[in-house]
Amino acid sequence: MENLLEKYAKIVGVEVIDHIRQLANPLKGARILHVNSTKVGGGVAEILNRLIPLKRELGIDAEWEVITGEKEFYKCTKKMHNSLQGDRDDISSDLLAVYEKTNLQNFERLRDKLEEADVVFIHDPQPAAFLHFSKARKGKWVWRCHIDVSHPYRPVWKYLREFVKDYDASIWSLSAFAQSLNHPLYLIPPSIDPLSEKNIELPEKEISDFLDSWNIRRDCPIITQISRFDRFKDPIGVIQSYRLVKNYVPVQLVLAGGGATDDPEGEEVLREVRAFAEDDPDIHILELPPDAHRAINALQRGSDIIIQKSLKEGFGLTVTEGLWKGKPVIGGDVGGIKLQVINHHCGFRVNTPEGAAMRIRYLLKHRDIMETMGMNARQLVLDNYLITRHLREYLTLVVALLLGSEEKIELNYPSH
Amino acid sequence: MGNQPFRILDSALIAIATGQKAQNLREFRDILKNIHSGSIYYHFWGGLLHPHFDEPEFQNDFAVWAARDLHDLKIAEQLSIIDPNIFRDIEELRQEVIEIIEERLYASEHVPWVKAGHEFHFIRSQIVIFDSGITYDNPRKLAEAIPKMSLGSIFFHFIDARRRTPESRNDFSAWLSGFNDKYTSLISGLDEIDPYFTTLNELRQEIYKVFNNYFKGGRNGKSA
């Protein structure tokens, strides 16, 4: 049976997989433990679900453990998450006591594995206090921050900082997110998995069936923004852009995002968006369940242009997904979109609804350019933002941590 | 043949934030004066091994920032044309960049600056060099292997080699010159490749083309 690495080799090339295999050679048998707070749902779990089997295939003894906690613990870590992203939300000392107690309980449960591992990756703030409780660790410990911490609410960051400052290294998605700490701040951008339901190739019929089910016509250009209903994603600005285009060219707009039932602000934004759309039959507002990966895939593949007109953005994996499907992307000039959307190459970065409208009209008028940009877009992701690159960087980091700390690490080899 | 076999080595690079960032050209110059030399290496050469796009207008990260964020095309052009290969070491290269910026600061009526969120973030890197386990003692066989070589190997043997070898040349040419004068025209072809204004993918193709033309073109084919 074909193994996972062979499946990826068909997409990224055999030489890329051989390169990964060789890099992993000195790590054979190494015990690497990842700890996060959930096995399902969310980007971290998605990545670990694939990275762990890949590492195991490479001969690394990789394991993944998940912490557990009561409702109050998650209340605290949710607040922590929001504050690290900039919300000015103080956390009560009672909640922080729950955070520390839950960390201690989970640490005690996992102590043997944690202290025996050669490398421990602790993901995000939830289990970050583990290191504080460890008195006899054997390996290197790395804190992996998946959050946009570019402008954290300082009191909360100062609290968390006390727990993460003693790690051997930390990993950040973008240099703009990295906070000053007295250890190496590695930069590893996130990635998408080309074999996942959200990104795998789909039959044309399935794409058409999905579009039909939402009454989206295929004979009229489709512009799509996929994101939760959040003001920072500027859905109103997207509708304004659509209207500016509609005056000149027939076009449909799709705004698709996760359900907003547990997010009061999301519900409010969704109401505003619906009101602003004024029952325009060419504006399709779709509320999709969190596991609608294939539907999102079909929407992206069925669209002519992907838009992500964010006013504030982390890395912007929906942009990566759109680019991977060979679509030009029009994105806000913020966060990780700046890394991914290269003007005139695979799309355009814009600052206003007018800018987005101008670029949409330009692309719809120049289908040949759209096609070239689509090809560039896919290549950009193939070269830089697939999970195989992510895996390679994790391996490089582990080699660097275990086998040397200097700028250039030469694994034993004879000279020419 | 009297020459040691060519051993294919491979490399993988990982970026590390230095935590230093500049919001205007003066800050940029000040940080540049003391930043880790690995950061200068990374921003000139590391671009080939970290996420980037094809056909960049400006060749190094400093020039890209000057053009895209400072909107100062004059300095972007001056920074972009710096050829890091001609400097003896990173310190000389650092000095050249500083001088260009100082001239610009001197000539400007105001200090060019960027809005929040568009600062230049200084990054450095660690590079891991490892053995692919593959060796070639025949240049023709080496030529056939090039299209399948990893981009990390191309980087190591063609780019990184320039800071390792006394004559700042690529490893392929250095190895071929061990065959006395047998491969002189092939070596010239390889030495003429400009490793700048390209991507590693394109560079791999260019190297292969030179090898392929040599062996298929029969300039000295029978001797290989």
Domain containing residue A253: CATH number? 3.40.50.2000
Q: Where residue B1 falls among pLDDT bands split at 50, 70, 90? A: very low
| A15, A163: one domain | yes
Residue B92, beta-bridge partner list: none
Q: Which residue has the higher pLDDT, A379 or A264?
A: A379
| A42, A81: one domain | yes
| A12, A104: one domain | yes
Mutation site for A-interface testing, chosen from B35, B42, B53 by largest number of A Cβ within 10 Å: B53
| B74, B158: one domain | no
| A184, A222: one domain | no
Residue A260 has pLDDT above 70, yes or no: no
* B29 in Cβ contact with B198 (< 8 Å): no
Please check whether residue B67 lies inside any domain of the structure.
yes
- State whether ipTM is beyond 0.90: no
| A67, A145: one domain | yes
Residue percentage of chain A with pLDDT more than 70: 97
From B71, B104, B124, the end of a domain falls on: B124
Q: B149 CA to chain A: closest CA distance, Å?
A: 6
| B160, B94: one domain | no
Q: Where residue B216 falls among pLDDT bands split at 50, 70, 90? A: confident
Spatial separation of the C-alpha atoms in residues A344 and A341, rounded to whole Å: 9
| B103, B197: one domain | no
Mark which residues 333-352 of A lie under 8 Å from B by CB.
334, 339, 342, 345-346
Spatial separation of the C-alpha atoms in residues B192 and A355, rounded to whole Å: 43
Determine the residue of chain A that is closest to B22 in CA distance.
A176
Please check whether residue B71 lies inside any domain of the structure.
yes
Please check whether residue A416 lies inside any domain of the structure.
no
Please check whether residue B39 lies inside any domain of the structure.
yes
**Least confident stretch, A131-135, A211-215, A288-292, B198-202:** B198-202
Q: Where residue B212 falls among pLDDT bands split at 50, 70, 90? A: very high
Mean pLDDT on A111-136: 96
Q: Which residue has the higher pLDDT, A196 or A44?
A: A196
Q: Do B150 and A15 touch (CB under 8 A)?
A: yes
Size of interface A-B (CB pairs under 8 A): 117
Secondary element (H or E) of residue B188: helix B184-191
| A261, A347: one domain | yes
Residue B220 has pLDDT above 90, yes or no: no
Domain interval for residue B89: 12-124
| B214, B153: one domain | yes
* A30 in Cβ contact with A61 (< 8 Å): yes
Question: What does the mean pLDDT of chain A come to?
Answer: 93
Q: How many domains does chain B have?
A: 2
Q: B183 CA to chain A: closest CA distance, Å?
A: 18
Q: Residue B7: which of A176, A397, A416 has the nearest Cβ?
A: A416
Give me the pLDDT at residue B14, please.
92
* The two three-digit tokens of residue A291, written as one number: 């596991």
| A211, A123: one domain | no
Residue carrying structure tokens 């923004």: A225
Please check whether residue B146 lies inside any domain of the structure.
yes
Secondary element (H or E) of residue A307: strand A305-308
B128: contact with A, CB 8 A cutoff: yes
Q: Where residue A415 falls among pLDDT bands split at 50, 70, 90? A: very low
| B218, B145: one domain | yes
Give me the pLDDT at residue B217, please.
74
Q: Which residue has the higher pLDDT, A266 or A344?
A: A344
Please check whether residue A91 lies inside any domain of the structure.
yes
Give me the pLDDT at residue A82, please.
87
Distance set, CA A193 to CA A18, A340, B102, B106 (Å): 19, 16, 46, 50
Please check whether residue A298 lies inside any domain of the structure.
yes
Give me the pLDDT at residue A259, please.
56
Mean pLDDT on A311-334: 94
| A165, A229: one domain | no
**Least confident stretch, A43-47, A241-245, B37-41, B168-172:** A43-47
Question: What does the mean pLDDT of chain B come to?
Answer: 88
| A163, A130: one domain | yes
| A155, A67: one domain | yes
Please check whether residue A412 lies inside any domain of the structure.
no
Distant-in-sequence contacts of A274-278, Cβ < 8 A, 24+ apart: A276/A236, A276/A239, A277/A239
Please check whether residue A296 lies inside any domain of the structure.
yes
Q: Do B131 and A411 touch (CB under 8 A)?
A: yes
| B113, B158: one domain | no
| B180, B205: one domain | yes
Task: List chain B residues with CB under 8 Å of A376.
Answer: 53-54
Please check whether residue A377 lies inside any domain of the structure.
yes
Domain interval for residue A330: 204-384
| B91, B151: one domain | no
Task: List chain A residues with CB under 8 Å of B132.
Answer: 18, 22
| B27, B86: one domain | yes
Q: How many domains does chain A have?
A: 2
Mean pLDDT on B181-198: 90
Alpha-carbon Rg of chain A, whole angstroms?
Answer: 23
Give the pLDDT confidence of A161-206 residue by residue, as tens digits. 999 999 999 999 999 999 999 999 999 999 999 999 999 999 999 9
Secondary element (H or E) of residue A5: helix A4-12
Residue carrying structure tokens 């690394």: A60
Q: Which residue has the higher pLDDT, B88 or B95?
A: B95
Residue A244 has pLDDT above 50, yes or no: yes
Q: A249 CA to chain B: closest CA distance, Å?
A: 31
Please check whether residue A376 lies inside any domain of the structure.
yes
Give the pLDDT confidence of A53-96 residue by residue, as tens digits. 999 999 999 999 999 999 999 999 989 988 998 889 899 999 99
Q: Where residue A370 falls among pLDDT bands split at 50, 70, 90? A: very high
Please check whether residue A54 lies inside any domain of the structure.
yes
Q: Do B17 and A175 touch (CB under 8 A)?
A: yes
| B99, B188: one domain | no
DSSP state of B24: B
Euclidean distance between the first and the last CA atom of chain B, given in angstroms as a whole number: 11
Give me the pLDDT at residue B55, please.
46
Mean pLDDT on B186-203: 88
Give me the pLDDT at residue B219, please.
53
| B109, B140: one domain | no
Residue A262 has pLDDT above 80, yes or no: no
Mark which residues 185-204 of A lie under 8 Å from B by CB.
185-189
| A117, A222: one domain | no
Please check whether residue B101 lies inside any domain of the structure.
yes
Please check whether residue B204 lies inside any domain of the structure.
yes
Please check whether residue B129 lies inside any domain of the structure.
no
Give me the pLDDT at residue A264, please.
66
| A241, A101: one domain | no
A279: contact with B, CB 8 A cutoff: no
Give me the pLDDT at residue A147, please.
87
| B17, B118: one domain | yes
CA atoms within 13 A on the CB side of A95: 17
Query: Treating both helix axes as pointing N-terminal to C-terminal, what angle do A367-384 and A353-365 enclose, rounded to 10 degrees?
Result: 110
Please check whether residue B3 lies inside any domain of the structure.
no
Q: Which residue has the higher pLDDT, B85 or B213?
A: B213
* The two three-digit tokens of residue B90, written as one number: 């990173």
Give the pLDDT confidence of A102-123 residue by residue, as tens digits. 999 999 999 999 999 999 999 9
